[in-house]
Amino acid sequence: MSSRIEQIIEEIEEYIDSCKFQPLSSTKIVVNKEELEELLRELRMKTPDEIKRYQKIISNKDAILDDAKAKADAIIAEAEAKAERIVSESEVMRRAMEQSDQLIEQTNSQAQEIYDSAMNEAGQIRTSAMAYTDEMLENLEKIMDHTLDSAGQKYNNFLNAIQSCLDIVKKNRAELAPQTGSSSYTKPEETDEDTDDSADDDE
pLDDT tens for the 203 residues of the chain, in order: 456 777 878 888 888 888 888 888 778 888 788 888 888 787 777 756 657 766 777 777 777 778 888 888 899 988 888 877 776 676 667 776 788 888 898 889 888 989 888 888 888 888 888 888 888 888 878 888 787 788 888 888 888 989 989 899 888 888 887 654 544 444 445 445 444 554 455 44
d(CA 28, CA 22): 6
Query: Given this model, what pLDDT does residue 203 score?
Result: 45
Query: Given this model, what pLDDT does residue 188 score?
Result: 46
Q: What share of the chain is helix, strand, coil (3-state, %, to 5)?
A: 80, 0, 20
DSSP secondary structure of 78-115: HHHHHHHHHHHH-S-HHHHHHHHHHHHHHHHHHHHHHH
Query: Given this model, what pLDDT does residue 191 score?
Result: 47
